[in-house]
């Protein structure tokens, strides 16, 4: 990207507080959130007992010590219900909100100063990307305004999955290529841990894995279409914007390689490469 842009976004929020908040979240999330300092953020999975991904969320420790969990819109109520439903004899309080935000993308994003409750750098190697999220966050003056398509294209180029498309309960952490970024193996037990650890330490390959698709001829790719080789379906495109997409590909198909999506030639790469 050639210049910094700012795009309005929306995030569902669940604030987790109380004396036992850190202790409780450690037993639920794949990431070590107890080690977060005030203002720090990290990404985590919240799993079903057999390691299906119920939520992929961001956790930020507030200046008061509470934990701010943010997810895509329409998932906040379910996240709060999931966490609240397993609570037993612990001092943990939940507050559900819907906050505006700004997606900063491009050179200068990381250096941008803000007093928003959530100022979080995305863990993307090829892009400078920061999200500002809070009840009073608005588009900053002096920064070019972007749009949702731009934000989506950057996400796809970074190979980053999203709730509802790449992330749902039929997907396990090993399929996403993000275990090293979203799972801590040096903390206590959490829901789904046994299955995640078993696959990881055995080096087992999942039946499908997340891949990035790019049209070398700059043709548009379509979501919800089969990924095909010689006419045979070997995967499916889950998200697409312009000539880029993400999808899941069968274990037997080697990458990098060439595939077809609705008749359009695409190059395919593992997101973890």
Confidence of residue 87 (pLDDT cuts 50, 70, 90): confident
pLDDT of residue 161: 98
pLDDT of residue 86: 77
Calpha distance 238→77 (Å, rounded): 24
155-183, pLDDT tens digit by residue?
A: 999 999 999 999 999 999 999 999 999 99
Confidence of residue 2 (pLDDT cuts 50, 70, 90): confident
- Neighbouring CB atoms inside 10 A of 80's CB total 20
**Residue 1 predicted with pLDDT over 70:** no
> How buried is residue 210: exposed, middle or buried, by Cβ count under 10 Å (0-12/13-18/19+)?
buried
With a pLDDT cut of 70, the percent of the chain lying above it is 99
pLDDT of residue 201: 95
Token pair 């914007």 in the structure block, residue? 241
40-83, pLDDT tens digit by residue?
A: 999 999 999 999 999 999 999 999 999 999 999 999 999 999 99
Nearest to 16 by CA among 91, 121, 73: 91
Confidence of residue 85 (pLDDT cuts 50, 70, 90): confident
pLDDT of residue 36: 98
Q: Give yes or no for a contact between 271 and 212, defined as CB atoms under 8 angstroms apart.
A: yes
Nearest to 163 by CA among 53, 28, 51: 53
State whether CATH 3.20.20.140 applies to domain 208-270: no
**Residue 100 predicted with pLDDT over 80:** yes
Q: For the CA atoms of 148, 246, 209, 257, what is the dihedral angle to 10 degrees?
A: -150
- For residue 227, what are the β-bridge partners? 235, 261
Tell me what the pLDDT averaged over the chain comes to.
Answer: 96
Rg (CA), the chain: 19
Calpha distance 16→20 (Å, rounded): 10
**Residue 213 predicted with pLDDT over 80:** yes
Confidence of residue 273 (pLDDT cuts 50, 70, 90): low
Q: Which two tokens stand for residue 114?
A: 């803000």
Q: Give yes or no for a contact between 44 and 29, defined as CB atoms under 8 angstroms apart.
A: yes
Read off the DSSP letter of residue 45: E
Q: Which CATH superfamily is domain 5-158 in?
A: Probable tRNA modification gtpase trme; domain 1 (3.30.1360.120)
pLDDT of residue 261: 98
Confidence of residue 188 (pLDDT cuts 50, 70, 90): confident
How far lies 124's CA from each of 96, 128, 161, 217, in Å?
28, 7, 12, 25
| DSSP-based helix, strand, coil % in the chain, nearest 5 | 15, 35, 45
How far lies 73's CA from each of 20, 79, 98, 99, 240, in Å?
27, 11, 8, 10, 19
Q: Any idea where the domains of the chain sit in the sequence?
A: 5-158, 208-270
């Amino acid at each position: 990207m050639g210049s910094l842009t700012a795009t309005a976004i929306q995030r569902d929020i669940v604030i987790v507080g109380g004396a036992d908040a850190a202790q409780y979240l450690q037993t639920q999330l794949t990431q070590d959130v107890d080690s977060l300092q005030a203002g720090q953020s990290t990404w985590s999975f919240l799993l079903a007992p057999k390691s299906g991904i119920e939520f992929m969320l961001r956790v930020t420790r507030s200046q008061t010590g509470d934990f701010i969990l943010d997810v895509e819109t329409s998932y906040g109520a379910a996240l709060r219900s999931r966490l609240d439903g397993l609570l037993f004899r612990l001092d943990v309080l939940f507050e559900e909100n819907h906050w505006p935000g700004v997606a900063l993308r491009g050179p200068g994003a990381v250096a941008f100063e803000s007093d928003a409750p959530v100022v979080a750098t995305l863990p993307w190697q090829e892009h400078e990307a920061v999200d500002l999220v809070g009840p009073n966050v608005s588009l900053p003056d002096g920064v070019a305004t972007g749009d949702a398509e731009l934000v989506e294209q950057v996400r796809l180029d970074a190979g980053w999955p999203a709730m509802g498309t790449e992330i749902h309960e039929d997907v396990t952490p090993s399929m996403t290529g993000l275990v090293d970024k979203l799972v801590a193996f040096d903390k206590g037990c959490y829901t789904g841990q046994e299955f995640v650890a078993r696959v990881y330490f055995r080096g087992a390959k999942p039946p499908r894995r997340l891949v990035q698709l790019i049209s070398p001829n700059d043709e548009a790719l379509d979501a919800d279409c089969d990924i095909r080789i010689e006419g045979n379906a070997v995967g499916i495109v889950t998200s697409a914007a312009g000539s880029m997409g993400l999808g899941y590909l069968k274990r037997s198909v080697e990458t990098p390689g060439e595939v077809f999506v609705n008749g359009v030639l695409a190059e395919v790469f593992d997101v973890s490469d």
